[in-house]
């Protein structure tokens, strides 16, 4: 069905756009501006109202008649799940405008993202579509396992047996989660983790008083919010670790929210009580502010004061886990075909695709045909967390599985199918669907191809997100950018903020098809990776006039950057040393990429650019080095600059020449 913009229709009818917008709004249509679009049916109605000799005499009658026509359009059935694009097509609404409406509702979605029931309801209310839309909701049984292919088995009560509880350890970074698991498992995982911070989800099973407990160790820092959310969805009990000397922190609150959303019992382990500045009662007070009232204060939240370092009260904590498990009556049917979840997966050079699978129901056996997301396979071998070969894995058992055709995604639903061919066919179909989805994704806007899209009539508005080091810079930038619109395209600033460019900014840019401009700030690692995946254009500057110049040139088709910046590595400053006649040397750890003596360096403090310059020296221990790779420590000196502090981040970059063709 064809569509026409309101301003084009107004021009055709020789009337003011504003008057036409008012008329369409009176007719009950959600038209917000002269840039909105209307469908063929509506445009015909409007033309009938305003064209012809007797339009003035019949305008009122026509308006009433046509309002009735529009309000009495055929009922549209919406079957869930449905993507933003499909929903827009169903209700004959511009997809980009629909995304803008979603942003107003606080929902960040791209065109191929599924809309849930609640969001659909909000949109129907927001767009006043109740009388036209009939939402066919998902079957109750389909919600949890929407990826299920095999039949949904209803277990008989007599087949259900008690299974070990699956416990997720959550909390803020460096509050002692992995150390606590070390004590429980009597291993030393913490010492082997990079920087002492957990980098992957690991699943382990331990035996306490002849009873098994499966533990999932989730990383605590911001980069792993999504992984932590996944952990909460597959667990039975959460141990929330809070440091007695630190209290409730942002990631502690996130962990509480994840557990509450999944309706999972929480046991609080107040750790580090051996420290002189420990205040367990203050932690309990802070917990009450987030709806967790300790048992001794009349609530129902079990709190155990522990010291992972001194191994204090660990047995009491585990007894509480078994007690809660007993009260919850956690059961499964070991006699059925296995189902589970991929905890983590990787491509091993010697063994091929390797996945850690947590079996939730049934028994997984060697030789079983598997389906997990876009991957199929047959179980060639299974290993427990110690690397020992096992023949079968019962409910709540974490197991390393070899035999997948490809590397499945963490969080994928795993099921055993009786028919290996069916598993293979479904996996191939899903891969094809994913490939088609990627091909159909809308092209992202970027300054490099802005002029081309303007010429093709594909863009009328350049959406911009501004992030800067201070509010004053934002105001100056906003004023300057709003002045440089042209007849063909206007600049629309959809969001501004102080501080580093983060993943939320990139998600917003994805949803609104915007570019991100950073002034004296840089994207964090997560934001950069998400931007690369979603093809969001992030431009960072140190000089305001250069921003204005670049956007003006992009609009005129004159943008010609000879050099493109390439991030080569990220380095964390862990110590500083004063060297006579040299200055301050940063004792550093290369977190990502490589550091080369010939690359440039940018010093970031809390995501804000403090200094840019040359690397004056690069050492490994006492020796000069030309290059240091990821995972190694080194000493870095910055040419003519000494204000380096522990916790600073060094971004290593170079400029690469590129040829441009418009």
Give tens-digit pLDDT for 429-469: 888 887 766 555 455 666 666 666 666 555 567 889 999 88
Q: What Cα–Cα distance (Å) separates residue 178 from each residue in 164, 252, 343?
A: 21, 15, 17
Looking at 532, 560, 588, which one is the last position of a domain? 560
Is 60 exceeded by the pLDDT of residue 504? yes
Q: Kindly state whether residues 61 and 85 are assigned to the same domain.
A: no
What Cα–Cα distance (Å) separates residue 321 from each residue in 147, 168, 527, 588?
A: 31, 11, 37, 40
CATH number, position 556:
3.40.50.10050
Average pLDDT over residues 503-523: 88
Asked if 92 and 32 sit in the same domain, the reply is: no
What's the pLDDT at 156? 82
Q: Please give the pLDDT value at position 571.
A: 95
* Residue position matching structure tokens 């155990």: 304
Residues 267 and 202 in one domain: yes
196 and 307 share one domain: yes
Structure tokens at 597: 């003596």
Sheet with 211-217: list strands edge to edge: 202-208, 211-217, 166-171, 237-243, 266-271, 302-305
Q: Does the residue 149 lie in any domain?
A: no
| CA angle, residues 450, 548, 611, in degrees to nearest 5 | 110
On whether residue 619 sits in a domain, the answer given is: yes
For the whole model, what pTM was predicted? Answer: 0.49
Q: What is the DSSP letter of 447?
A: G
Do both 185 and 299 map to the same domain? Answer: yes
- 223-232, 257-266, 413-422: lowest mean pLDDT where? 223-232
* Helix, strand and coil in the chain, % to nearest 5: 35, 35, 35
Instruction: Check whether residue 425 and residue 325 sit in a common domain.
Output: no
Q: What is the CATH number of the domain that holds 391?
A: 2.40.30.10
Residue range(s) defining the domain that contains residue 432: 339-440
Instruction: Please report whether residue 610 resides in a domain.
Output: yes
Torsion of CA 590, 595, 597, 599, to 10 degrees: -130
Q: Which of 123-132, 141-150, 348-357, 596-605 has the highest mean pLDDT?
A: 596-605
In a domain, 151, yes or no: no
Q: What percent of the chain has pLDDT over 90?
A: 22
- Say if residue 576's pLDDT is above 90: yes
Per residue in 300-332, is it b (16+ CB within 10 Å) or e — as a string?
Answer: ebbbbbbbbbeebbbeebbebbbebbeeeebeb
The verdict on 301 and 173 lying in the same domain is yes
DSSP string across 151-211: ------GGG-EE-PPEEEEEESTTSSHHHHHHHHHT--HHHHSGGGS--S-EEEEEEETTE
The Cα 334–Cα 535 span in angstroms is 45
| Residue 150 within any structural domain of the chain | no
Residue 228 confidence (pLDDT):
45
Is the pLDDT at 283 greater than 80? The verdict is yes
Please work out, in degrees rounded to the nearest 5, the angle formed at the alpha carbon of residue 266 by the alpha carbons of 231 and 216.
30
554 and 457 within one domain:
yes
Mean pLDDT value of segment 219-239 = 56
Which CATH number belongs to the domain containing residue 65 in this structure? 1.10.10
Longest dimension (CA), the chain: 94
In this structure, the answer to whether residues 525 and 454 fall within a common structural domain is yes
* Same domain, yes or no: 177 and 313: yes
Average pLDDT across the chain, whole number: 78
Average pLDDT over residues 599-628: 91
Residues near 72 by Cβ (< 8 Å), separated by ≥ 6? none
Cis preceding linkage at 49, omega within 30: no
Rounded Cα–Cα distance for residues 511 and 465 (Å): 12
Q: What is the CATH number of the domain that holds 244?
A: 3.40.50.300
- Alpha-carbon span 521 to 470, nearest angstrom: 10
State the total domains in the chain: 6
Q: Is 187 contained in some domain?
A: yes
| CA distances for 531 relative to 492, 495, 544, angstroms | 20, 17, 23
The answer on pLDDT for 144 being more than 50 is no
Domain boundary residue among 535, 560, 585?
Answer: 560
Of the residues 404, 420, 440, which one is the last residue of a structural domain? 440
- Where is average pLDDT lowest: 143-147, 361-365, 625-629? 143-147
User: Are residues 316 and 390 located together in one domain of the fold?
Assistant: no
Neighbour count for residue 153 (Cβ, 10 Å): 13
Shared domain check, 309 and 175: yes
**Is residue 318 within 8 Å of 184, Cβ to Cβ?**
yes
Handedness of CA 304, 308, 310, 316 (dihedral sign): positive
């Amino acid at each position: 069905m064809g569509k026409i913009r309101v301003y084009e229709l107004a021009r055709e009818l020789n009337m003011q756009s504003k008057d036409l917008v008012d008329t369409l709004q009176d007719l009950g249509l959600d038209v917000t501006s002269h840039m909105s679009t209307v469908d063929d049916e509506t445009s015909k109605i409007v033309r009938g109202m305003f064209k012809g000799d007797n339009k003035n005499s019949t305008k009122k009658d026509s308006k009433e008649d046509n309002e009735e026509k529009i309000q009495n359009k055929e009922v549209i059935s919406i079957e869930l799940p449905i993507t933003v694009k499909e929903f827009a097509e169903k209700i004959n609404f511009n997809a980009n405008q629909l995304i803008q409406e979603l942003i107003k509702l606080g929902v960040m979605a791209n065109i191929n993202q599924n809309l849930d029931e609640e969001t659909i309801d909000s949109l129907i209310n927001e767009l006043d579509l109740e009388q036209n839309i009939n939402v066919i909701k998902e079957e109750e049984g389909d919600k949890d396992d929407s990826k299920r292919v095999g039949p949904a088995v209803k277990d008989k009560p007599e087949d259900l047996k008690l299974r070990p509880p699956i416990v997720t350890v959550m909390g803020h970074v460096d509050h002692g989660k992995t150390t606590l698991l070390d004590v429980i498992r009597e291993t030393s995982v913490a010492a082997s983790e990079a920087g002492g911070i957990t980098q992957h989800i690991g699943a382990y099973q331990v035996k306490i008083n002849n009873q098994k407990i499966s533990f999932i160790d989730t990383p605590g820092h911001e980069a792993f919010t999504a992984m932590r959310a996944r952990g909460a969805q597959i667990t039975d009990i959460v141990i929330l670790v809070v440091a007695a000397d630190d209290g409730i922190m942002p990631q502690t609150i996130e962990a509480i929210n994840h557990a509450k959303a999944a309706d999972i019992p929480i046991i609080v382990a107040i750790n580090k009580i051996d420290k002189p500045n420990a205040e367990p009662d203050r932690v309990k007070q802070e917990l009450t502010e987030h709806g967790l009232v300790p048992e001794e204060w009349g609530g129902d939240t079990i709190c155990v004061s522990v010291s992972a370092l001194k191994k204090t009260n660990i047995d009491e904590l585990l007894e509480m886990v078994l007690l809660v498990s007993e009260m919850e009556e956690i059961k499964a049917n070991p006699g059925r075909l296995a189902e589970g979840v991929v905890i983590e997966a990787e491509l091993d050079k010697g063994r091929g695709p390797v996945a850690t699978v947590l079996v939730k129901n049934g028994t997984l056996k060697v030789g079983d045909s598997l389906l997990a997301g876009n991957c199929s396979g047959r179980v060639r071998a299974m290993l427990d967390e110690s690397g020992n070969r096992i023949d079968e894995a019962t409910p709540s058992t974490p197991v390393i599985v070899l035999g997948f055709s490809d590397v499945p995604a963490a969080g994928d639903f795993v099921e055993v199918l009786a028919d290996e061919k069916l598993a293979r066919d479904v996996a191939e179909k899903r891969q094809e669907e994913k490939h088609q989805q990627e091909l159909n994704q809308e092209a992202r806007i970027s300054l490099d191809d802005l002029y081309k899209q303007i010429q093709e009539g594909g863009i009328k508005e350049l959406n911009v997100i501004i992030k800067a080091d201070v509010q004053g810079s934002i105001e100056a930038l906003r004023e300057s950018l709003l002045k440089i619109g042209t007849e063909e395209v206007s600049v629309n600033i959809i969001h501004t903020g102080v501080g580093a460019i983060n993943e939320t900014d990139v998600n917003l840019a994805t949803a609104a098809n915007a570019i991100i401009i950073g002034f004296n700030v840089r994207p964090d690692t997560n934001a950069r990776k998400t931007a690369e995946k979603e093809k969001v254009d992030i431009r960072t500057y140190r000089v305001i006039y250069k921003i204005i110049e670049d956007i003006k040139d992009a609009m005129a088709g004159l943008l010609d950057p000879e050099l493109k910046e390439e991030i080569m590595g990220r380095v964390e400053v862990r110590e500083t040393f004063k060297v006579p006649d040299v200055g301050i040397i940063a004792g550093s750890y290369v977190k990502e990429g490589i550091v080369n003596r010939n690359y440039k360096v940018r010093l970031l403090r809390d995501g804000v650019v403090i200094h840019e310059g040359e690397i004056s020296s690069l050492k490994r221990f006492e020796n000069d080095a030309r290059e240091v790779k990821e995972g190694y420590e080194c000493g870095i000196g910055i040419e003519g600059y000494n204000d380096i502090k522990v916790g600073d981040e060094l971004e290593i970059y170079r400029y690469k020449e590129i040829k441009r063709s418009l």
